[in-house]
Amino acid sequence: MKLKRSTVNNLIAYGIVIVAFVICQSMISAGAMSRSLRGQLVPICVYIVMAVSLNLTVGISGELSLGHAGFMSVGAFSGIVAATWMESAFAMENDVVRLLLAMVVGGVFAGIAGVIIGVPVLRLRGDYLAIVTLAFGEIIRNVLNCVYISVDAGRVYFAFNSPQLPGKLVINGPAGATGVSRISTFVIGFVLILFTLFVVLNLINSRSGRAIMACRDSRIAAESVGINITKYRMMAFVTSAVLAGMAGALYGLNYSTVTAAKFDFNTSILVLVFVVLGGIGNIWGSIIAATLLTVLPELLRGFSDYRMLVYAVVLILVMLVTNSPMMRAFFARVLPHKRGEEGKGGEAA
Amino acid sequence: MTQQRRSTTKMVPFPSHSIVPERDVDKLPVLEARHLGIEFGGLKAVEDFNLTIGKTEIAGLIGPNGAGKTTVFNLLTKVYQPTSGTIMINGKDTAGMNTVQANKLGVARTFQNIRLFGNMSVEDNVRIGLHNQVPYGMFSGIFRLPRYWKQEKKQHERALELLSIFGMQDMASAKAGSLPYGAQRRLEIVRALATNPSLLLLDEPAAGMNPHETEELMDSIIAIRDQFQIAVMLIEHDMKLVMGICEGICVLNYGRVIAKGTAEEIQKNPTVIEAYLGRRKEDAQ
């Protein structure tokens, strides 16, 4: 019976995302969407995936990670290289296939980075873990600042700190990736959101997900029933990194120029803000917060110079409102199915 | 009923100067601890602890506050690594193992201060206990392969079956943290049982229970032992429970075993009486 309820909840979830997508698509075809908002659609998808995947680490697994943008950048750069290489090696014309494969490559490389970083980092807990993930995020950014990669006749050349490479430079050190063919589309972004939701929601409602949450709630009790803590913390961390890498690839291939400086500490914090605002452990909240807060700066253009001030005020107000017990009780009444979600995700703090 | 059980068990000597119930004497003991000790920076919390528990014995570990009872549990479950001595579980040396491996060997426990997964449902708590009993991988879980549905169904049935030991199957979907205190203690026992142990360690199972609940708990512990054919070792301050169901009792004081024996022997033992009540003034001089 319980199984059914969670499955129904998930189906409702996919349904809402699909409806939102259909509305957006019909607005585009009817010409009812402004140009600037249309340009925001792919970044919105990217940030939704980033927020949902970070929520897996912060909310479900209970580790405060401050280096999420690092995995995004690994995914972005490896995705760009993969897309360029496929074009040059196989003369692959189909943009959709190229983008999907680039996203897979981005996810794989970010996953590898997740394993490499996870091994030392997951020995730590709490504040220490937060600080070390922050440091690793910065390390990734600085390393990518010195990387030169070129593609020539279907071969990939790699150099550190020296741009003397044959062929066309794809990644040009501090100047980042230039001349990227923009192949990201809103439709693929939407598919990525569905995929992320599918992975995260199904993971939470499975044996592995329960083990991850058990490690979060009580380490000692989880060990006493034979759960390998390291394995499940790692599983959550790497899954989250893979999804961030895929989002990164989508993001990277959405702009003609991407620099490593874009994926700095501020981006990590921005994604964390989405997660905290939406409610830690609450997947739905992450999606809504990521959407609204990505659109908000655009909508606030009317305030011109005071734009970021208003943005900050809105953030503070939302925090106050969502944390008041009265509003919580109100939401619990309005959204009856949310109670189940709360039981699942819980409050990690 | 409980009184009868105690009087009919005859305890017999066991090699390494311990005693086990007569029915278990030709079976491999579930636990053999020899010369077990742990030091915390020079403080000897437990010293030269020797104990053998028979295959289906209900054993008691008692002692004044701070005697090191919970430390013994933490040693047996490998939360702490002993600084001296050996622990054999079902004849296997546990040296170098961690808590997870000890659990897989068959040691399950409950906690003095309840450690349930409070945000999750009662059933999910038991399912987490079934983690290694009804396994499937992350991949089957995410992509909902046939194995997922089969194993989830099995977990669900097994969880309800285990909950029915304490008649808790109706609360399966309640949040574990919202249960009354006694029910939380019982749920912890169910979660520990779900790991299919051969030795169940209960740390103050009756704490916070009223006399009626304690009475029920005593019957349940015996029922669990009979149904699963496992050994139970419990720490308890409620002497009615300890003397009522424990076959072999071990008394700990200042980290050392000061007496071992049946309930009658322990009740008459002058060293035990002294540890609990102190010495009479004229004797002390």
Yes or no, beta carbons of A217 and B118 under 8 Å apart: yes
Total domains present in chain A: 1
- Using a CB-CB cut-off of 8 Å, the residues of chain B touching A344 are 120
Taking alpha carbons only, the member of A72, A51, A117 closest to residue A287 is A51
Distance from CA of B126 to the nearest CA of A (A): 10
pLDDT (mean) for A266-291: 90
Helix axes B146-163, B181-194, angle to 10 degrees: 130
Tell me whether residues B131 and A209 touch, CB distance under 8 A.
no
A window 182-241, beta carbon within 8 A of B? 198-199, 202-203, 206-211, 213-214, 217-218, 220-229, 235
Q: Which structure tokens are listed for A261?
A: 């400086």
Q: What band does B1 get if pLDDT is binned at 50, 70 and 90?
A: very low
Query: What's the confidence (pLDDT) of residue A253?
Result: 95
3-class secondary-structure state, position A32: coil
pLDDT tens sequence across B141-164: 999 999 999 999 999 999 999 999
Contacts with A214 from chain B: Cβ below 8 Å: 117, 120, 128
Rounded Cα distance, A329 and A15, in Å? 25
Mutate to test the interface with A, among B97, B103, B117 (most CBs of A within 10 A): B117
Please state, in angstroms and rounded to a whole number, the distance separating the CA atoms of residues B135 and A48: 32
Tokens of A283: 């997947």
- Region of poorest pLDDT, from A270-284, A287-301, A331-345, B37-51: A331-345
Token representation of residue B175: 């949040």
pLDDT higher than 90, residue A211? yes
Average pLDDT taken over every residue of chain B: 90
Residues of chain B contacting A2 with CB distance shorter than 8 Å: 121, 123, 156, 172-173
- Name the least confident of A22-36, B166-180, B226-240: A22-36
Q: What is the dihedral of CA B11, B12, B13, B15, to 10 degrees?
A: -110
Domain that holds residue A71: 41-345
Shortest Cα–Cα distance, B152 to chain A (Å): 8
Instruction: Kindly report, residue by residue over B43-83, the tens digit of the pLDDT.
Output: 899 999 999 999 999 999 999 988 999 999 999 999 999 99
The amino acid occupying position B177 is G
Please give the Cα distance from A176 to B160 (Å, whole number): 57
In a domain, A36, yes or no: no
pLDDT value of position B99:
95
Distance from the Cα of A66 to chain B's closest Cα (Å) equals 25
Look up residue A273 and give its two tokens: 């803000």
Bridge partners (DSSP) listed for residue A248:
none
Boundaries of CATH 3.40.50.300 in chain B? 2-106+197-284
Domain presence at residue A305: yes
Preferred mutation among A195, A200, A224 to probe B, highest tally of B CBs within 10 A: A224
Given an 8 Å threshold on Cβ–Cβ distance, is A207 in contact with B123?
no
In whole angstroms, give the CA distance from residue B207 to residue B70.
Answer: 14
A176 found inside a domain: yes
Nearest to B108 among A1, A2, A224 (CB): A224
Residue A34 forms part of a structural domain:
no
Instruction: Look at residue B4 and tell me whether its pLDDT is greater than 70.
Output: no
B284 band by pLDDT with thresholds 50, 70 and 90: low
Residue with tokens 């194993």: B151
Nearest-CA distance from B105 to chain A in Å?
Answer: 10
Asked whether B53 and B29 are in contact (CB, 8 A), the reply is yes
Q: Do B136 and A225 touch (CB under 8 A)?
A: no
**Which value, in Å, is the radius of gyration of the alpha carbons in chain B?**
20
Test A202 with B100 for CB contact under 8 angstroms. no
Residues 6+ apart with CB under 8 A from B52: B14, B16, B18, B19, B20, B29, B31, B32, B33
Res. A263: pLDDT tops 90: yes
Integer angstrom CA distances of residue A102 from A41, A45, A98, A161: 19, 16, 6, 25
- What does the pLDDT look like over B224-277, one tens digit per residue? 999 999 999 999 999 999 999 999 999 999 999 999 888 888 988 888 888 887
DSSP A155: E
Residues A124 and A132 sit within 8 Å (Cβ to Cβ): yes
The phi, psi pair for B28, rounded to 5°, reads -65, 125
Contact: B120, A203; criterion CB under 8 Å: no
Per-residue pLDDT tens digits for A61-114: 999 999 999 999 999 999 999 999 988 888 777 889 999 999 999 999 999 999
B98: left (phi over 0), alpha (psi -120 to 50) or beta: beta
For residue A282, being part of any structural domain is answered with yes
Which residues in chain A touch residue B100, judged by CB atoms under 8 angstroms apart? 223, 226-229
Question: What percentage of chain A exceeds 70 in pLDDT?
Answer: 94
Chain B residues within 8 A of A203 when measuring between CB atoms = 138, 141-142
Degrees to nearest 5, angle at CA A281 with A267 and A319: 65
A322 within some domain: yes
Fold of B2-106+197-284: Rossmann fold (3.40.50)
Residue B133's CB is within 10 A of a number of other CB atoms, namely 16
Q: Give the closest-approach CA distance of B42 to chain A in angstroms.
A: 25
Q: Please name the residue that has the structure tokens 């002058």.
A: B270
Q: Which of A3, A211, A217 sits opposite B119 (nearest CB)?
A: A217
Q: To the nearest 10°, the Cα dihedral for B217, B21, B15, B87?
A: -20
Say whether B131 and A207 touch across the interface (CB within 8 A): yes
Contact (CB<8Å) B151/A224 = no
Q: Which residue pairs from A119-128 have beta carbons closer than 8 angstroms and sit at least 24 positions apart in sequence?
A: A119/A234, A121/A237, A122/A63, A122/A230, A122/A233, A122/A234, A122/A237, A125/A63, A126/A64, A127/A64
| CA dihedral of A226, A231, A235, A238, whole degrees rounded to 10 | 170
**pLDDT beyond 70 at A341:** no
Q: What are phi and psi for residue B194, nearest 5 degrees?
A: -65, -25
Kindly state the average pLDDT of the residues B38-43.
Answer: 90
